[in-house]
Structure 1
Amino acid sequence: MNFIKSIEAFTLVVEKGSFTNAAEALDITPSLLSRQIKELEQYLGCQLLNRTTRKQGLTRAGECFLKYSNQIIATKAEAIEVLHQLNDKIAGNIRISSPIAFGNHILAPLISKFLLNYPEVNIEMDLTDRKVDLIENNFQLAIRIGDVVDEGVVAINLPPYSMVLVASPNYLQKNDIPIHPDDLIKHNCICFSQWHSNQYWSLEKSNKVYNVKIHPRFVSNTGESIRQAALNGLGIALNSRIMLEKDIQSGRLVEILPDFSIRSRSMSILRLPETPVPPTINTFIQFLLDSVKEIGGSPVSAKLG
């Protein structure tokens, strides 16, 4: 039995939620994966997973061992990274979290380009619109849209994230088209939950700022659900331009108050506070900073895609 590989298999089963999904990720059969877990349980002398025909779950021993398994895997990755640093070599694995729209439209093409330039680097990109904890979720990097509070990480500024107000033609046929920010008060509003806490949308024209108190009909934690709600005629949505640009160009959505600028969202790339910064991480961050400047500068917009 390969102890490290068995631990990695065990943590992957927990992460993926099933033997089938984990086996697919490892490119092995579920039966082989199940045998690896059984060998690990026999070696440890305890059962790690409760298995039924429909689902699985951690035993108390499994919950305890999972914490140590994550530490072992992290130590292995750190040891490999240290050796790469000693050789000043751009190699190893990077796990990065990104918001869904930015990841699909901007980050994924850049990662492909980076990997072609550095054949000994592997990158795993996880797309989610929720905030992630780098240490707890084992990420080396994360893209964050919005303000970064003191989270024990290093935040490096990226160009701001361009926002836009939109509504469907069907909604606008049934409701008056806003001609001034104050008109938004009378409309159904759709917004992102993490930007909803103050219940204000800020627009600007001729150096004058209009802070409009909105009354959301629908709040969501994903940009795609906000887009779908707007397409279905629910109301006026505030979302990223890169998410909505194709809908605007096709006429499925109409830009609202185009003569007013909407305050862009700050955007950062977060990294762990390691000293010195691993060369692979440092190289990727610099590549991302240079690439974003080259393909559009500030603010980040749909033109980047």
Structure 2
Amino acid sequence: MLNSRLIALLPDLATFILVVNKGSFTAAAKELGVTPSALSKLITRLEASLSVKLFDRTTRTLQITQSGQKIYQQSVAMVNAAQLAIEVSNEEHSEPVGTITVAAPKAFLSIVLQPLVTPFLQQYPDIELKLKVSDGDINMLEQGIDIMFRLTDAPYENLISKELGKVNLSLCASPDYLALKGTPHHPTELTMHDCLYLGETKTDHIWDFVQGNETHTIPVSGRYAVNHSQMRLNGVKDGLGIGIFPDFVIKEALQNGEVIQVLEDWTIKGNYHGVIAMQYAPSKYMPTRLRVFIDYAVKHLAI
């Protein structure tokens, strides 16, 4: 049950969240229309009330402590619950309103999601849409994400997941490159070819292939690595070698004959292989704005 001490802390905890999100007292104070010194005193009062140090402060930096991080996470959950209460009160609106924050891998965001942004916003003029590039694991609560898209064999189990289709990794090269260097017919032959890879981690150049009971782990090499799918595809089109891509990235280039798929009979294991999963937090109450986005995505993004 609520007590007087908790009620007194609620506004200060909400302000604490803003300071963390803004990264400084100055930026948070500007947002609130108060002075940085007044905001600093408020945080000091909150620290005294909680008997815990929230920030390590110097004249130039503001670093949240480990205890402060834990309190921040719980405070964010509190504010999100309050936001849901506001959404309930807004249910009488005839049209969905509010902000939706969506995260997705870079290539999927630009190729698959981005073309649907304008028609969605035109259909729902009172919704604001924020898109975030997220190519790795994310914490939806900490980063304020409402819905995320993942290309994976293992969707997060603690979230609701809607499968919109499947995505496979494919190898391709330009006709000119294959005419000059030959077409590989087995994964082991890739060691004799120029290959384009992401270059993000130490293992990006190690490609795993499966066909029935046969598996091969191939260390490839090449003179060009880039973690931008369109730039990497342009390099493939220009004859720089063989590249690995999610199939939706090369769909148009295949249809246009700009690239040719190789080793089609082999399954390639790696990041961005598996199902296209749209995931969001379970809730007894879902804001209307999220419900219409989910329905729109299911209708228009099934691949």
Which TM bucket (shorter chain)?
0.5 to 0.7
The structural deviation recorded for 1:266 is 2.1
The structural deviation recorded for 1:289 is 1.9
Does the residue aligned with 2:103 lie in a helix, a strand or coil?
Answer: strand
2:209 match:
201
Q: How far, CA to CA, are the matches of 1:229 and 1:292 in structure 2?
A: 23
Q: Which runs of 5+ in 2 are unaligned?
A: 1-10
Does the residue aligned with 1:119 lie in a helix, a strand or coil?
Answer: coil
2:284 match:
275
| Residues 126-180 of structure 1, C-alpha deviations (whole Å, 9 max, x = no match) | 211113243454422110102234522121111333644245799x499833242
The structural deviation recorded for 1:185 is 5.0
AA matched with 1:148: A
Does the residue aligned with 1:6 lie in a helix, a strand or coil?
Answer: helix
The structural deviation recorded for 1:267 is 0.8
1:227–1:239 contact (8 Å) kept in structure 2: no
2:111 match:
105
Match of 1:176 among 181, 197, 211: 181
1:38 match:
40
Does the residue aligned with 1:214 lie in a helix, a strand or coil?
Answer: strand
Q: Which runs of 5+ in 1 are unaligned?
A: 299-305
Q: How far, CA to CA, are the matches of 1:216 and 1:230 in structure 2?
A: 19
The structural deviation recorded for 1:89 is 5.4
Q: Answer with 87-96 or 227-236: which moved more.
A: 227-236
1:286 match:
295
1:148-159 → structure 2 map (5 Å cutoff): 148-149=154-155, 151-159=157-165
Q: Does 1:224 align with 2:228?
A: yes
**TM-score, length of structure 2 as denominator length:** 0.67
**TM-score, length of structure 1 as denominator length:** 0.66
Q: How far, CA to CA, are the matches of 2:184 and 2:209 in structure 1?
A: 15
1:242-257 → structure 2 map (5 Å cutoff): 243=249, 254-257=259-262
RMSD of aligned C-alpha atoms? Answer: 4.7
Q: 1:211 to 1:228 in 2, by over 3 A?
A: same
Report the count of equivalent residues: 276
Match of 1:215 among 214, 219, 224: 219
AA matched with 1:176: K
Q: How far, CA to CA, are the matches of 1:223 and 1:265 in structure 2?
A: 20
AA matched with 2:219: H
| Residues 8-64 of structure 1, C-alpha deviations (whole Å, 9 max, x = no match) | 4213124xxx678xx4xx895899684564253244255744444654312466445
AA matched with 2:245: N
Larger radius of gyration: 2
1:164–1:241 contact (8 Å) kept in structure 2: yes
2:16 match:
7
Identity over aligned pairs, percent: 21
2:86 match:
80
Does the residue aligned with 1:78 lie in a helix, a strand or coil?
Answer: helix
Q: How far, CA to CA, are the matches of 2:104 and 2:182 in structure 1?
A: 34
Q: Does 1:130 align with 2:139?
A: no
1:223–1:239 contact (8 Å) kept in structure 2: no
